[in-house]
């Protein structure tokens, strides 16, 4: 029942052969060289400074929610960079390939990318940005902050948490492997049907895309289960539902969405997989296949997925705006209600992604109206933030700047979204660059929120702030770049440029393409400031206080900076919604616990890393149809899980004396840190 393959296949290596390595493509070869050099530098540095054991013991095998969060964020930032490079390549191709007289380089007729390669690049751009940049960043911040904000020791299931991370990493690894072995999908990140089917797309690209997607969505589903269980079961005593920080609420809603939608896309992709591997006819063009079934299943996942990423962004704004306005959040209950409304409406608007399917006016009317409804709770949130700032004492620190630009982008993206929600209008600009500009404004809201969140909580995790001056330069260059790139796209969309074009037919559009390309150049400038910000901050490492920004309101600012691995020496009792603000008002913020009790903590384990590695091998073997290796790695996964279930290790107990000793050491260190800088004694004696 296996489908006939187009091309050679051997039992040992499946479809894999030397021809799969794209050594004739200079772009891929130079990328490969860069990746190899970077890899050698990183591994070499680890070996040179004897850090390999440390990285393995303290990071890769860690089940600590903070370290897992940091690893998620590192993955997200690396993939964000790769996704950005893909985006820059697309914009450059469109700039070069305009009109019949445009020159061609590197074997392309116009521009420098042949259509087949260009198609893979936009597919990779969408896939990477959503699954391997935005999702890990959101999951990473959630992992870092939610347990701290609810006063928990860790997530409900630390081992599952590490497994989620390594499944996501294995998906990202498959995407990276596809660059240098074989090819990536050319069927867009949504998987166009029936184009993604075997007869029209016989290569391994779609298989790479499918398995990367499947593995990472499995990880995200596990993470959603873990987050919901943590928020429901692990809150500190006294933290009733309506004392929970808004970020935890938005995390809860977002993970309820995640848990309910990811299984649907798993079904859609599995059906595509059965089609491609066994020759069934779910989405084929013949034999009764219905490819609009795929589109519906995909967007039943795909639209809530947008809110899955957007709600944490709103939660981040809701933490940052009160802190830097030095004022309690305006309209807390409406904020919670708005989160749930957005989540609820998000489930029932999916068909606005394909108004042109031909559903008829009744359904199009329903989906238009439902989509417009989303504007109401979103508007509630926007006004709540504005009213929080109203008469607040606003500090324009970098996180606040990001939050403010997030609101501006939300306005641009939201209003153009309202335009698109009218199905009659959508017929005009469907699949045009107007849509691209709209949803990039929306994902830039998420991006702004994530940069805000990372800057805001950086001192909590690492003990020192990110450099403010370079951070602001990064902010301004990034914002100008974003507007330069995407505002012209609104016009180009109106002018009739559809998305995913490797060739622009009308040379008259060149000036706007140049503006957009200028924005790409600006992004590179902002990247420089990002690097400089990291470098300066890491070099100086100016210690930050427990309440790093001075106006923190929630529980995470109560514990030490950087957070010790046990989070809180003694679990706090919650007395108010903004616990730290309440303690400050009562003059109690400095009161430390007087007695300690032993803490039960989980041991590190290598099993999640091994599972991630086996999952990568499984995905790779399935992609290349190496059946023996697929079967072996699948069996290995099952065997590892079973062996691990016989493990009697129940973690370890951190004794009260140990906690007291570590707490004292932290207290001493902070006293040393608070000493003002004085001239050295020798100089004083010289007088």
Partner 1 sequence: MASNIPAASAVLWNPSADEHDPISARTYGFWLYLIGDALLFCGVFASYAVLDNPVNAAGGPLTAQVINAPHGLLQTFIILASVLAYSLGTVSLKTGNQAGVRLGIIAALLLGAAFLYISGSDLLALAAQGDGPTRSAFLSVFFTLLLTHGLHMVFGILWMLVMLVQVSVLGFTKDVVGRLLNLRLFWQFQATMWVCVYFYVYLLGGSR
| Interacting residues toward partner 1 by CB under 8 A | 1, 153, 156-157, 160, 221, 224-226, 228-229, 232-234, 236-238, 242-243, 259-264, 266-268, 271, 274-275, 278-282, 284, 286-290, 293, 297, 332, 570-573, 575-578, 582-583, 586-588, 591, 593, 595-597, 599-600, 638, 642, 645-646, 648
The neighbouring-strand residues paired with 14 are 10
**Closer to partner 1 by Cβ: residue 279 or 375:** 279
Nearer to partner 1, 110 or 243 (CB): 243
> Considering the complex, what minimum distance in angstroms separates the CB of residue 232 from partner 1?
7
User: Between the CA of residue 271 and those of 197, 287, 619, what are the distances in Å?
Assistant: 11, 15, 16
CB of 371 to partner 1, least distance (A): 21
Which residues does residue 111 pair with via DSSP β-bridges, in sequence order?
A: 104
Q: Is 182 helix (H, G, I), strand (E, B) or coil?
A: coil
Taking the complex as a whole, how short is the minimal distance between the CB of residue 436 and partner 1, in angstroms? 28
- The CB-of-279 to partner 1 minimum distance in angstroms stands at 5
Residue with structure tokens 């399935």? 622
Beta carbons of 459 and 544 less than 8 angstroms apart: yes
CB of 570 to partner 1, least distance (A): 4
Q: Give the nearer residue to partner 1 in terms of CB position, either 216 or 482.
A: 216
Nearer to partner 1, 211 or 457 (CB): 211
Using alpha carbons, list the distances in angstroms from residue 59 to 63, 155, 191: 8, 16, 35
- In the bound state with partner 1, the residue whose beta carbon lies nearer, of 354 and 434, is 354
Q: Which residues contact 201 (CB under 8 A, 6 or more apart)?
A: 185, 186, 187, 195
Closer CB to partner 1, 6 or 540, in the complex? 6
Residue 290 φ/ψ, nearest 5 degrees: -130, 100
When the beta carbons of 258 and 488 are compared against partner 1, the nearer one is 258
Continuous segment of H or E residues that includes residue 226: helix 205-233
State the minimum distance, in angstroms, from the CB of residue 653 to partner 1: 11
Burial of 671 by CB count in 10 Å (0-12 exposed, 13-18 middle, 19+ buried)?
Answer: exposed
In terms of CB distance, is 49 or 287 closer to partner 1?
287
| Closest distance of CB 573 from partner 1, Å | 4
Pick the closer one to partner 1 by CB: 278 or 369: 278
Evaluate whether 256 touches 339 at the Cβ level (below 8 Å): no
- Angle among Cα 183, 265, 372 to the nearest 5 degrees reads 115
Q: How far is the CB of 350 from partner 1 (least distance, A)?
A: 12
- Whichever of 24 and 645 has its CB closer to partner 1, that residue is 645
Min CB(333)–partner 1 separation in Å: 9
Angle, vertex CA 329, rays to CA 326 and CA 331, nearest 5: 150
Residue number, 308 or 529, with CB nearest to partner 1: 308
**Cβ-contact 349, 369 below 8 angstroms:** no
Query: Rounded CA gap, 67 and 58, in Å?
Result: 8
**How far apart are alpha carbons 305 and 260 in whole angstroms?**
10
Q: What is the 3-state secondary structure of 63-87?
A: CCHHHHHHHHHHHHHHHHHHHHHHH
Segment holding 600, helix H or strand E: strand 599-601
Q: Which long-range contacts (CB under 8 A, 24 or more apart) does 291-294 make?
A: 291/193, 291/194, 292/354, 292/357, 294/191, 294/193, 294/268
Query: Closest distance between partner 1 and the C-beta of residue 43, in Å?
Result: 37
Q: Please state the closest distance from residue 274 (CB atom) to partner 1, in A.
A: 7
Smaller CB separation from partner 1, 302 or 417: 302
Residues 561, 549: Cα–Cα separation, whole Å: 12
Inter-residue contact 585 to 44 (CB < 8 Å): no
Output DSSP code: residue 133. I
Residue closer to partner 1 (CB basis): 520 or 580: 580
Asked if omega into 370 is within 30° of 0 (cis), the reply is: no
Rounded distance between C-alpha atoms, residue 454 and residue 319, angstroms: 12
Residues 167 and 219: beta-carbon distance below 8 Å: yes
Least distance CB 194 / partner 1 (angstroms): 11
- Measure Cα distances from 595 to 152, 159, 660 in Å: 18, 30, 8
């Amino acid at each position: 029942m296996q489908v006939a393959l187009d091309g050679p296949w051997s039992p040992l290596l499946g479809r894999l052969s030397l021809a799969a390595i794209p050594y004739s493509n200079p772009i891929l070869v130079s990328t490969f060289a860069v990746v190899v050099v970077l890899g050698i530098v990183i591994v070499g540095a680890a070996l040179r400074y004897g850090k390999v054991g440390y990285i393995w013991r303290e990071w890769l095998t860690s089940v600590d929610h903070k370290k897992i969060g940091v690893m998620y964020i590192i993955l997200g930032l690396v993939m964000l960079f790769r996704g950005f490079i893909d985006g820059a390549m697309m914009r450059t191709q469109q700039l070069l390939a305009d009109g019949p007289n445009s020159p061609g380089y590197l074997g392309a007729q116009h521009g420098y990318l042949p259509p087949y390669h260009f198609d893979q690049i936009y597919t990779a751009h969408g896939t990477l940005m959503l699954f391997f940049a935005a999702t890990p960043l959101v999951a990473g911040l959630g992992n870092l902050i939610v347990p701290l904000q609810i006063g928990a020791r860790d997530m409900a299931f630390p081992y599952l948490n590490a497994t989620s991370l390594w499944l996501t990493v294995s998906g990202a690894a498959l995407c990276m492997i596809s660059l240098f072995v074989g090819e990536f999908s050319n069927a867009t990140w949504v998987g166009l049907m029936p184009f993604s089917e075997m007869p029209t797309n016989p290569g391994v690209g779609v298989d790479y895309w499918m398995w990367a997607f499947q593995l990472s969505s499995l990880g995200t589903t596990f993470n959603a289960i873990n987050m919901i269980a943590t928020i429901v079961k692990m809150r500190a005593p006294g933290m009733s539902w309506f004392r929970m920080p808004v970020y935890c609420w938005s995390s809860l809603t977002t993970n309820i969405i995640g848990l309910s939608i990811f299984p649907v896309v798993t079904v859609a992709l599995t059906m595509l997989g059965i089609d491609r591997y066994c020759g069934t006819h779910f989405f084929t063009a013949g034999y009764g296949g219905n490819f609009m079934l795929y589109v519906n299943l995909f967007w039943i996942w795909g639209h809530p997925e947008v809110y899955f990423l957007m709600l944490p962004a709103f939660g981040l704004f809701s933490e940052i705006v009160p802190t830097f306005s030095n004022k309690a959040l305006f309209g807390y209950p409406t904020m919670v209600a708005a989160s749930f409304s957005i989540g609820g409406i998000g489930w029932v608007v999916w068909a606005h992604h394909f108004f042109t399917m031909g559903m008829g006016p009744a359904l199009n009317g329903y989906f238009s109206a439902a989509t417009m409804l989303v504007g109401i709770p979103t508007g509630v949130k926007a006004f709540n933030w504005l009213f929080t700032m109203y008469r607040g004492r606003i500090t324009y620190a970098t996180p606040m700047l990001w939050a403010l630009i997030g609101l501006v982008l939300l306005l641009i993206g939201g209003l153009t979204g309202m335009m698109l929600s009218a199905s009659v209008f959508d017929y005009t600009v469907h699949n045009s660059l107007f849509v691209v500009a709209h949803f990039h404004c929306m994902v830039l809201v998420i991006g702004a929120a994530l940069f805000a969140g990372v800057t805001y909580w950086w001192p909590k995790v690492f003990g020192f702030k990110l450099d403010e001056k370079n951070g602001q330069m990064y902010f301004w260059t990034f914002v100008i770049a974003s507007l330069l790139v995407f505002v012209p796209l609104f016009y180009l969309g109106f002018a009739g440029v559809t998305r995913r074009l490797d060739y622009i037919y009308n040379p008259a559009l060149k000036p706007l393409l140049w503006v957009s390309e200028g924005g790409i150049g600006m992004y590179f400038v902002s990247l420089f400031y990002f690097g400089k910000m990291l470098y300066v901050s890491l070099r100086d490492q100016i210690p930050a206080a427990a309440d790093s920004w001075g106006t923190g309101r929630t529980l995470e600012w109560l514990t030490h900076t950087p957070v010790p691995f046990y989070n809180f020496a003694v679990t706090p009792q919650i007395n108010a919604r903004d616990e730290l603000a309440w303690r400050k008002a009562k003059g109690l913020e400095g009161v430390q616990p007087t007695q300690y009790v032993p803490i039960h903590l989980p041991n590190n384990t290598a099993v999640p890393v091994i599972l991630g590695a086996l999952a990568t091998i499984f995905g790779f073997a399935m992609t290349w149809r190496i059946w023996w290796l697929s079967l072996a790695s699948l069996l290995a996964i099952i065997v590892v899980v079973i062996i691990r279930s016989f493990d009697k290790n129940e973690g370890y107990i951190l004794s009260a004396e140990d906690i007291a000793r570590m707490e004292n050491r932290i207290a001493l260190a902070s006293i040393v840190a608070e000493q003002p800088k004085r001239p050295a004694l020798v100089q004083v004696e010289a007088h």
